[in-house]
Each structure stands twice: as C-alpha cells, then as structure tokens.
Structure 1
Amino acid sequence: MSELSATAPVGAAEPTGDASARGLRGSIGVVGIVFLVVAAAAPLTAVGGALPVMLAIGNGAGSPMAYVVATVVLLLFSVGYAAMSRHVVDAGAFYAYVSKGLGTPVGVGAAGLALLTYTAIQAAIYGLAGATAQGLVVQYGGPDLPWWVWSLVLMAAVGLLGYRNIDVGAKVLGIVLTLEIGVITVVAVAVLAQGGADGIDVRSFTPSEFFSGAPGISIMFAVASFIGFEATAIYGEEARNPRRTVPLATYAAVVLIGAFYAVASWAIVLAFGSDGVVAAARADTAGLVFTAAAEYVSPVIAEVMLVLLLTSLFAALLAFHNAISRYLFALGRQGMAPGVLGRTHGRHTSPHVGSLAQTASAFVVVAVFAAAGSDPVLQLFTWMSGMATVSILLLMVLTSVAVLAFFAHSRVDRRIWHTRVAPALGTAGLLGVVGLVLANFTTLISGSTALATVLLAVIVAAFGVGVVVALTRSPGRAPTRSSGG
C-alpha cells in the first residue's frame, strides 16, 4: 500500500529530521470526529432556518425526502472517499485526494475551492450568528449593539479555541451538539406522540410529494446542510488509528445527519399537516419550527431553542475554522503557500498559524460587509452560503473523479464496489445535484442574474488561482514545528 501520512504529505518532498514534529497530533476518536462533522452541519440551524424555506418555496411536504436523496448520493460518494482514506492521511483531505488522483495542479485548484467554500460559509454564519445574537440580547433586555459587534465577539472565542489542540474544541462541540440535537428530538417526539395536526402519514416520502413544487430547491438546501462532512478526513492526522477511524466516522456522520434531518423535517411537516405546512411556512418562515415547539411542547422550549440556535451557529463556526486552518497547514507544509502556515504549535500541536490567518481573513470579510452597511442575513449570509454550496459540490465532483482515477492507476484496492461502481454512481449523482443548483442558483442567493454571474466567476477564479500557484511553485520540504507559547 502507498499510505501517505502527516510526515509525507501528497506531493511533498521527504522530510528530514524529527518527522513527528511536523505533523498534527491528537487522540480524537470516531465519536469526536462525528461531533465535529455534525457540528459543522449545524442541525438546529438547518432545521430551524433552511427547512422552513424548503417547505415554503421548494417541494413542500416532500422536503423530508430531499434529505433522503442527498444522503444516498453522499453515501455513494463516501464509499470511495472512505476507501481512499486508507491510503491518504492528510489534513488537506479533498485537496490531498484530488492531488493524488488527478495531479498536483488540479489538487491545488481544488484547495482553492475548499478555502473559498469554508471561508464563504464561515463568513455567512458570522453574519447570521451576529444578527441572532443581536436579537437575543435585545429580547432579554441587553444593549442594542450592531450585529457585527457580536460577530467579532464570537470570532474571538472561535479563534481562541481554534488555536488550541483539537481535543479541546471537540469537547466544546460535543456539549453544544448534544444540547441542540436533544431539543430537536424532544420536539419531534412530542409531535409524533401527539399525532401532529392531522394524524401520522408518510406522504412526505412518496414520489408524488417529492416531485411536487420545486424539488431542485429542496435538494440544494438539503445538500448544503451536509457541508463540512469532509472533516472526517481533515482530522485524520489527529485521530487514533485513522485507517479505521476515518471510514467509520464518514459513514456514521452521513447516516446520522441524513436520518436526523429526514425524521426531524417529517415531524415538522406533521406538526402543521401535510396539506397545511406550505401555507404555514410561507406565513411565518422564520418562526415556523419555534411555533411548533411552543405548541407541542411548551413556550419555554421555544425560548431554549432560540438560545441554542446561537450555540449551534457557534459550533458550526468552530468546525469550519478548524477545517480552514488545516487546509492552510497542508498547503504550507507542501510548499503551495507560505511555509509558516505549515508550522504546528510547540505545546498544542495545532496549526496555530493557520488558525490566526483564518481569523484574520474572517475579520476582513465581515468588516467589508459591515462597512458597506450590508444586511447580515439577506446579503452576507445568503450570498456567501450560496457560493459555498456550488463550490463544495464542484469540489466533491473533483474528489469523486480523483478517487476513480487513483484506484484505476494504483491498483492498491481491487474491490469493485468500493473503487469503481459506488464512486461512479456518486459522481453521477453529484453532477445531477450540481445541475439542479446551477438552475436555481439565483433563487438560492436571493439575488440578480448579474450577482449570480459574479459569484460563479469567483468560484472559477479560486480554482484557477490554485492551478497557477501549483504550476509556478515547487513543493517545499515540510517545515519544523514552532515552539510558540
């Protein structure tokens, strides 16, 4: 086997000296990685924010089936992805996989897409989180400060945790995630136990309901809700026994996220009735899920959910921060970015320079939107999350093709289903989703055709810059770990 480790990243020269000092270290297991991945998916944000939009302008009561379809596509993708994780262990994940399968130029282009994806989605969440915090503080009698003040407070907390060892962040996310999943579960169980508005039915999972309205819009929101599941491989270097941990975490994360969303969304449909949920969602898109919580459980649980929405957003911010800093680390270590980014902290063994750089870039994006007087939700969140959705889908298509290419020319794994059939089906499914998203992209960003063109051009430019960088730079030797305090 040609396994690649932290000390021999894809495309890098063989290091010299103390190899162990050059990689990330940690003891995170399957459960910890799954926490990081599901936290990035932000369950309460998806159920409380994205689902009502799917119900209102997508395929209505058929929205739960969109999560099932997305889960099947991503599971097919994950088969090859997990198989390749046994041979490539690198903090760059998608970037490392594409480099190994399709060559370094395309791989660094993929890294450009990855950095754009996670930078954009994190900036989007800073806008939504800032607006959410502002509303909560005012609601409970606090000062009415601008949304960006709260975004900066959250940024400081995320930066502090991201600077430290991944085990610290995983523990924080574990607590937050348990609370938000718990409260959604309570609401879902209460709705099902009380029979919903018109009794229990499974119309949401029938073909007729799924293909009603605009299923393409629901599919793209469903796929967007999975952004961040790549983290299973990103944390491979910091995992116990990554050859076993990463595949298990990948399958567990996709199945758990998909099943949770499907059941939770079905419960919300039943709360208002399959015939009445569309009208209810259109009448009160922002408050739909909280109204269901107040009616079927208690007004107190609705208040708790509002607070947990903010902690859900914080968990997602921390997860994406960790992903970006590790991409920067992988690029710096390989010589495709300034070498200082490839340094690990002397005590925390974290990519601390990449973490600081990521905090700085997030500050710049948020500051630009704040200075322009932009709306944190309608503009910052909507535009950036829309661009991130297209970017991550293209990145996954590249990765899926790279998996096929890698196993075709390496022959290190001869399992037909894992290395050929499932990756090919996953690629076809992803291409179908890309088509749906592009067809509805203007709706996704709630903007004009001109704005959609600009954002899509940024995605193409991010990939192009990565290719140019790869063609003009020589892979560098892995840098030594710093001894920062």
Structure 2
Amino acid sequence: MSAAFMGPAVSMYFNTGYAAGFAGAAMPISFAISLVIAIILAKTIGEFSKVAPSAGAFYVFASKGIGPRSGFLSGWLMFIGYSLLEPAEEALFGTTASSLLKSGLGIDIPWYVISLLAWAFVLMLSCIGAKQSMKMTMILFAGEVGVLLVLCCIVLAKGGHDGIHFEVFSPAMSPSGFSGIALGMIYGMLSFVGFESATTLAEEVKNPKRNVYYALIGSTLLVGCIYIFATFTVVNGFGLKNMDKLASDASPFVTMATQFGNTTLVTLIALAGLSSILAVTIGVNNAIARVIYVMGREKVLPSALGKLNARFHTPTNAIMFQSAVALVLLLLMGFAVGPSNTYGYLGAILTLGIIPVYMMASVGYVLYQKSQSNVRKHPFKNLILPIISSLLLLIPLSASFYPVPEFPYNILPFIVIVYAIIGIIVAKRLERDPERFKRVGEILGDAGSEVNA
C-alpha cells in the first residue's frame, strides 16, 4: 500500500523535470537526501506505530507527544496534502495524454478534454465502488516499475547521452549551489508522500507492531533506491549540459524511450505513466471522499455528505463534493497557469503542507518517549534520529523562503501558512467541545486510510 501510494512511475516521469529545474544535474542528490529523511521518518513513525497503533496515524502521533491542538493541525495539513493531489494528477494526465496522442498518432485533443474525461472516469468508478480497481492498480504498479527499470537499464547499457557520469552526486553540478538542491528536495519529498499510508491500517493487520514497521521501512527503501537509480539514469540520458531540456520536457522518460528504445518501449512507457497517474488519482479521490463522508456523518459538515448510496453503498454525496472541488481547481489552475504548472504548483504546496506534519510526528515521538522515560534507554532511536530528520526537513522549508525563489514559488509557502492559520482558528472554536474536537482531528488524520479500499 505504501509503495503504491508513492507511485514510483508517476513520480519519476514527472517530478524529475521539476527537480532538475532547481538542482540541475545534481538532482540525484536531492532525491538521495530525501531518501535519508524518508527512511529516518519511516523508522520513527514505525516505532511510534508500535506504541500507538491507530488508524488516526499522524493525528495520534502529534497528539500523544505534543498535544491535541498539534494533532488537529497535523490532520488539517494532511487533508490539504491529499485533497490537492487529485486536481494535480488529473491536470498531469490531460497534458501528458494530449502530448502523446499528438506526437505519436497526430491526433490533436486539448488537454482539458482528456482531463475532464479522466475526472469523469474517476468520479464514476468511485461512485460504484473502486475496490476491485484498486486491486488492479497493485498489479499495474508492478508492471509500471518493471517498465521503468527496463528503460533505465537500456539507457545505461548504451552509455547514456555522452557517457556515464557519476559526478551527478557532486553538489557542484547544481547551477545555484545547495539552495538549488534544497528546492529540488521539495519534489524529492513529494515523491515520497504516501510512504506513511501503511500506518493507517495499524488497527486491521496482524501483529501491527512488527508488520507496519517493516512495511514502512521496506517500501520506503525499495522505492527510494528506484528513485536514485532512475534520477541517475535520466540525468545521464539527457546529458549533463542538457538539464534545461530535461526541465522543460513534459515526458522525459518517453523522450528517453524514443531515443534509446523502440516503438514498443515508447508505448509501454507512455501507458505505464498514464496508468500510474490514474491509479493515484482514484486512490486519492477515495481517501478524501471517505474523510468528507465521516465528517458529514459526525455532522461537522452538512449531514447530507454523510449518507451512503442505497445501491452501491458508497458515499456518493461526499464523492461528488470532492470531485466538484477538484474540478474547480483543475479548470481554474489549468487555464490560468497551464496543466503542467498546475501539477508543479499544487505539488509544491501540498509538500510544503505535509513536511510540518512529518516534523510534528518526529518531535511528538521524542516528547512521548521522554514522558515514558525511554530517551535515556535508547537515545539514538528515541532522540537523535528524530531530531536529525526534523533538521533535514528544515532544508527544503528554509529554501522556500531564502534565498527567495522566483515567482510564484516565493508565494507558495505563504499559502500554506494562511491555511494553517485558518486551521488554528478552527481548532480554537472546536475546542469548546472537547469530544467533537478530538473526533474531527482523528477524521482529518485518517485521510489516507482507505486509499486502496
């Protein structure tokens, strides 16, 4: 579940270009540092899930360690993280499919037509129940990763664009120094978003103290190694001096398949990318609609959103509400800044929202272990590692403020800050009813628990 939610194919196909725009040929460093952070976080969160196994995940982690208000804010930020993924992915699906149809078959269909078709398909599938389709995405996941790795092996076996260069792991290859690598980490961390989703099943699996822990570590390490291998390959495939081409390429892996492979490989790469986007979109829609449904059922939102469809037993009203919000964002952003930038900007916003959640979980873990007098017993596990992960997460956060990035990346962090302030205001009002306040936080923090259900 964690590996599928990260979506290795879609992450590598599209996040590499954005990361290269900041880090240049040093992009693999951005992903390598992101992997180190993700592994430490996976270990910390896995350890936390041993002592606090719960479907509430980050809400519970922050609440137990720091306090209920921090727990609520964690859930609040996780909610925007998951909810922005749907319009981002649908915009990406539209522009990618449109480009491929035009270049491959000479068929010119506007991106928004294809995006709307994808949106309608996801809406229909969610309304009738997506359990079987989500099982299918697990099979597609294996196929997508297989195709990706085959292409990477072919590119490296043929010597890349002008040889194989290991200096891509040198910070000197970044055009703007470490600040470029740090900004590239925003898309590195975006590629790992979802590694934590296995924690939400802690109440439903056998021996959660063991199995959830190893699921987090194993999936994060596996996918992270794929990321480093793929980023190393794509930089060498384009050539160290062609990072501007990589940054502006809507489908860099399709470009590499065209140059180093054949028609069959190009087709497989294209289909793998599109299916990966669609799979993530379906999962995200299900997850967010479930949260909206529960909030309607608890009368936090209008009660009509908390009703099930009599025929399909799915939260149709909640699904339609989430789909309507996604449609508005898709069209407004898509026509205002273009579909590719819609993915890039929304992806950056949701990552900047989720990074503080990871930090609160780490700090919460330390404080919780301190309250249990366990820090002195295991200082490396219960103090040093969580602090290291929090400090490393400050790298992409600080780079979002200084040196001041170009517009509009300079304003994206402030969008998250405004959203967080609204969350604090909502939390203060809900605190008047402690039981309701706790329940709302649990619901928000449970956003990813039904991604593959």
The two structures have a TM-score, normalised by structure 2, of 0.82
Matching residue of 1:8:
none
Matching residue of 1:474:
434
Give, in whole Å, the separation in 1 of the partners of 2:267 and 2:142: 17
Paired letter, 2:324: F
2:360 to 392, 398, 405: 398
Contact 2:6 2:194 in 1 (8 A): yes
Contact 1:64 1:262 in 2 (8 A): yes
Matching residue of 2:445:
none
1:366 paired to 2:327: yes
Give, in whole Å, the separation in 2 of the partners of 1:344 and 1:418: 44
Matching residue of 2:263:
299
Extract unaligned runs of 5+ from structure 1: 1-32, 479-485
Give, in whole Å, the separation in 2 of the partners of 1:341 and 1:103: 29
Deviates more, 1:74-83 or 1:376-385: 376-385
Matching residue of 2:254:
290
Post-superposition offset of 1:296: 1.6
Give, in whole Å, the separation in 1 of the partners of 2:155 and 2:422: 45
1:86 to 50, 60, 64: 50
Spell out, residue by residue over 1:330-351, the C-alpha distance to the aligned partner (whole angstroms, 9 max, x if none): 7678886678878999999x9x
Spell out, residue by residue over 1:177-228, the C-alpha distance to the aligned partner (whole angstroms, 9 max, x if none): 1222111111111122222233333212234436864212222221111122
1:281 paired to 2:246: yes
Matching residue of 2:217:
251
Matching residue of 1:216:
182
Contact 2:250 2:340 in 1 (8 A): no
How many residues in Structure 1 have an aligned counterpart in Structure 2? 435
Matching residue of 2:41:
77
The residue correspondences of 1:237-248 to structure 2 (distance < 5 A) are 237-248=203-214
Deviates more, 1:224-233 or 1:366-375: 366-375
Contact 1:54 1:63 in 2 (8 A): yes
Post-superposition offset of 1:295: 1.9
Give, in whole Å, the separation in 2 of the partners of 1:38 and 1:462: 32
1:192 paired to 2:153: no
Give, in whole Å, the separation in 1 of the partners of 2:196 and 2:307: 22
**Secondary structure of the corresponding residue to residue 84 of structure 2:** helix
Going from structure 1 to structure 2, the CA distance change for 1:345 and 1:107 (only over 3 Å counts) comes to: farther
1:104 paired to 2:68: yes
How high is the sequence identity, in percent, across the aligned residues?
23
Matching residue of 1:236:
202
Matching residue of 2:396:
433
1:463 paired to 2:423: yes
Give, in whole Å, the separation in 1 of the partners of 2:276 and 2:38: 23
Give, in whole Å, the separation in 2 of the partners of 1:174 and 1:302: 22
**Secondary structure of the corresponding residue to residue 243 of structure 2:** helix
Contact 1:191 1:296 in 2 (8 A): yes
Matching residue of 1:423:
386
Give, in whole Å, the separation in 2 of the partners of 1:397 and 1:191: 38
Going from structure 1 to structure 2, the CA distance change for 1:331 and 1:231 (only over 3 Å counts) comes to: farther
Give, in whole Å, the separation in 1 of the partners of 2:90 and 2:280: 10
Paired letter, 2:364: A
Give, in whole Å, the separation in 2 of the partners of 1:103 and 1:331: 22
Give, in whole Å, the separation in 2 of the partners of 1:75 and 1:166: 31
The two structures have a TM-score, normalised by structure 1, of 0.77
Hey, which of these two has a bigger chunk of helix by percent? Answer: 2
Going from structure 1 to structure 2, the CA distance change for 1:239 and 1:145 (only over 3 Å counts) comes to: farther
Going from structure 1 to structure 2, the CA distance change for 1:440 and 1:464 (only over 3 Å counts) comes to: farther
Extract unaligned runs of 5+ from structure 2: 440-453
The residue correspondences of 1:318-397 to structure 2 (distance < 5 A) are 318-325=282-289, 327-328=291-292, 352-353=314-315, 356-367=317-328, 369-370=330-331, 373-378=335-340, 380-397=342-359
Give, in whole Å, the separation in 2 of the partners of 1:320 and 1:363: 14
Going from structure 1 to structure 2, the CA distance change for 1:172 and 1:65 (only over 3 Å counts) comes to: same
Matching residue of 2:451:
none
Paired letter, 1:220: I
Paired letter, 1:304: L
Alignment root-mean-square deviation, CA: 3.6
1:66 to 30, 33, 39: 30
Spell out, residue by residue over 1:118-141, the C-alpha distance to the aligned partner (whole angstroms, 9 max, x if none): 111222112222333444556676
Post-superposition offset of 1:246: 1.4
Give, in whole Å, the separation in 1 of the partners of 2:50 and 2:311: 28
Matching residue of 1:7:
none
Give, in whole Å, the separation in 2 of the partners of 1:441 and 1:186: 39
